[in-house]
Structure 1
């Protein structure tokens, strides 16, 4: 990867203090603060504030999916709460055994990273599973009973679940309605866009529609939202037809060919979230040209919803896999950081391991992850000063409750606007909870130790980030493009067998759509990390993606989908691609030639149909 340009360096330097635009988070922040405050207040009234601080480990459940549709949110928070309780239980089990503690921390960090990235859990991701394990481990090692720590965490998770779902009592389908309204606004902008703004507004409308369908599906496909979004989609399709001067499929009928530029099918959105935060996407050039045929067809299948967890988990373990690369980096970095902590005799290895994990667990480009680590370090320095000030002020009792609630509120208000500033609040919040489990340490020692732990953790993460996977960007892209080819072949098999209406065929189309989105995201990150090596394969990936959308379109075309023998014939070039091991070097031009052969067959079908 080439060094960052001076413009990029200046942009990242400004980002330390800049407030980024963000959707309103007042409700989310108030819910998080309320969930944190309730067990703390109850514990303070009972004269057991330390129990309230332990319960706050379970309260972290509320940070997951705070604005998602109710049905999906209920399941997500239940699973996260159970995971946090399991982490606390494991931390209690290995308390007092430093080596086993590091092994447990590393194992949880890797497994949680793999699961959160694969299942698109979203921020805060896997981080808190390792952090809660570490805090519980220290608490039990300093005299708290394991049962007390586990029960307190369970209570906190239950409070978080109830508070997290509370806003749905007055608006049970409000998240879906917001997504539908956002799609409506985006399509309205697209409908009235001047000629020079048509393409970006069309891409924005497409992304909003994808997000809308995902939200409606997550919420249980409530009929009013389904009907409203279907009307918005019809307006989008009509606007696309008017502005392109033809309806679905007219590209092939008018010209007899596909667009010359395979990149014309860019701007596929990510309706199931991303492994990256917003900063990661800002660093990657996303093309905005959208072919009308392909764009309309991806909308038709966007309502298929999320792929099943079993499918994405199985896909993630097949090498080469970006998820495996992220998980491997987390494994090496946390093991390195934990080993340094144990060998040097540092008392709180969990802080070192957690910081190493924090830089890497969301993935992204090297530049993005490096900036994330720098922001975390800068924010931690400020946060340590805030914590030292709080300790010197001898904050106790109800003041502790007030400070923790206020810090949680500030974190949620800032985390999407400025990560470094949010960390200034996150650090004293985490230390206040953590030191309650091991009271008595001098403040200067605590601050100095956490500073060293932070530097060791971040340095371990950045070293692993820059020393691993440097020659694998091309392989990652080829691996994900292969997954698209396999998914295309399965849909072609359904077309050839006239079996489009079966549940299996529906899953095959859902899987193809999912792989198309994933491949585009992987390709953009790979191109950012190794532009020269990836460039030929980026063109190949765009050609594969164009083919994928053409095949999805054929499934819905009333005439094309009846050409069973032709679709069976179209599988032959794909068989040549799949016969070659993806780990074996193969020129991008050769792969693209086979893809073009299939495209040509489908273009002929479209023209003749």
Structure 2
């Protein structure tokens, strides 16, 4: 396998978002977490905060495009988390929900070009719903707070200026200009036919998007099923690693580096969480720490994924501990580290096994 580039392991790249934009997109979530902690409504705060995760789509330069994406992503988030909650008790149904979410996300991306974090965001939201469902909450418990969070995220994103002259971002695993939302269909071709043709082309092997789709679906399925069959309590963490690595645009070298970043960042985050549990601060302090970690993650995720993973791991463990207080912190952290390693191993295997067929020289000619 290609050398991933060890000299770039901990190098911090230039910022991709201004402090002002980070405040606009992240401040709402931070205030929600702080406010819910002060009011003692920790679970409601986490659910509303989860609903605001659609702000990840909020960097699209065009305001009309951003508004359409934010509205669609908000509805998609609520549906995906709700489905995850509903199927959390069944392995087969959960795996089917992952596939359905991948199809739906790619279909939505074909229609309007979602931009970062891409179409497989909804697969992760299904997985997040399984954690909530296993914590004992039902679909009716989550819809209202998720919707409230999505509305807050929509307002925060749409308040941003319309940055004319910039291309809308595209985080599909590979760019496909055949379905640009800003390119109208031919007068002789109904829009639905144009969308269907583009969607079919993207899923036709060996189109690069079809390769990414196959890798993500297979990896998410294996990453969830293996820990469940081994008796793991939080298999979603393996899915998180697999989807975030494989859906990231770039070749094998970049994705291998991303997997290495995830393992090392998770291990260091594990140690940080272990130290945090020794202090055992009150919940209000924990929620304040979540806000700081969220801000760090927003600033580091695109600059050095490994360093961001340290904050991401610590943040995720704190949030999960609130949802599952009966699980010992050491068990929770150890499970996170183990399942992350499983997810990274699945990524490497899937990248090796699922590759586009090599065309013969005569066919290329």
Q: Distance in 2 between matches of 1:117 and 1:464?
A: 24
Contact 1:32–1:412 (CA under 8 A) maintained in structure 2:
no
Contact 1:326–1:361 (CA under 8 A) maintained in structure 2:
yes
Matched, 1:424 2:321: no
Structure 1 equivalent of residue 191 of structure 2: none
Structure 2 equivalent of residue 603 of structure 1: none
Match for residue 89 of structure 2 among 77, 96, 101:
96
Matched, 1:275 2:172: yes
Structure 2 equivalent of residue 22 of structure 1: 15
Structure 2 equivalent of residue 586 of structure 1: 363
Within 5 A, what are the aligned runs for 1:208-357? 211=166, 214=167, 273-275=170-172, 305-306=182-183, 310=195, 312-357=198-243
Structure-2 change in CA distance of 1:109 and 1:454 (3 Å): farther
Give the CA deviation at 1:114: 6.5
Within 5 A, what are the aligned runs for 1:426-505? 426-469=312-355, 472-474=357-359
Contact 1:140–1:149 (CA under 8 A) maintained in structure 2:
no
Structure 1 equivalent of residue 190 of structure 2: none
Q: Distance in 1 between matches of 2:364 and 2:62?
A: 45
Q: Distance in 2 between matches of 1:359 and 1:365?
A: 11
Structure 2 equivalent of residue 381 of structure 1: 267
Contact 1:352–1:456 (CA under 8 A) maintained in structure 2:
yes
Q: Distance in 2 between matches of 1:392 and 1:405?
A: 20
List per-residue Cα deviations over 1:114-142 (Å, max 9, x = no partner).
75488643332245423332333232333
Q: Distance in 1 between matches of 2:160 and 2:115?
A: 20
Unpaired segments ≥5 residues, structure 2: 186-193
Match for residue 82 of structure 1 among 63, 75, 85:
75
List per-residue Cα deviations over 1:10-62 (Å, max 9, x = no partner).
xx212121111234431232223312123223323432111101212111111
Contact 1:29–1:408 (CA under 8 A) maintained in structure 2:
no
Give the CA deviation at 1:322: 1.4
Q: Which structure shows the bigger proportion of residues in helix conformation?
A: 1
Give the CA deviation at 1:453: 0.4
Within 5 A, what are the aligned runs for 1:108-187? 108-109=101-102, 111-112=104-105, 115-116=108-109, 120-168=113-161, 173=162, 175-176=163-164, 179=165
So what's the TM-score if we normalise by structure 1? 0.53
Match for residue 289 of structure 2 among 393, 399, 403:
403
Contact 1:377–1:458 (CA under 8 A) maintained in structure 2:
yes
Q: Could you say what secondary structure the match of 2:160 adopts? A: helix
Contact 2:269–2:309 (CA under 8 A) maintained in structure 1:
yes
Give the CA deviation at 1:86: 0.6
Give the CA deviation at 1:395: 3.3
Within 5 A, what are the aligned runs for 1:525-540? none
Within 5 A, what are the aligned runs for 1:543-554? none
Q: Distance in 2 between matches of 1:132 and 1:75?
A: 19
Contact 1:102–1:350 (CA under 8 A) maintained in structure 2:
no
Q: Distance in 1 between matches of 2:158 and 2:364?
A: 52
Within 5 A, what are the aligned runs for 1:17-96? 17-96=10-89
Q: Distance in 1 between matches of 2:43 and 2:9?
A: 34
Contact 2:124–2:243 (CA under 8 A) maintained in structure 1:
no
Deviation >6 Å, runs of 4+:
none
| Corresponding pairs, count | 352
Unpaired segments ≥5 residues, structure 1: 180-210, 216-271, 281-302, 475-532, 537-584, 589-609
Structure 2 equivalent of residue 287 of structure 1: none
So what's the TM-score if we normalise by structure 2? 0.86
Structure 2 equivalent of residue 515 of structure 1: none
Contact 1:131–1:351 (CA under 8 A) maintained in structure 2:
no
RMSD: 2.8
Contact 1:33–1:405 (CA under 8 A) maintained in structure 2:
no
Structure 1 equivalent of residue 188 of structure 2: none
Structure-2 change in CA distance of 1:433 and 1:132 (3 Å): farther
Give the CA deviation at 1:113: 5.4
Q: Distance in 2 between matches of 1:61 and 1:587?
A: 42
Give the CA deviation at 1:396: 3.0
Q: RCO higher in 1 or 2 (8 Å CA, sep ≥ 6)?
A: 2
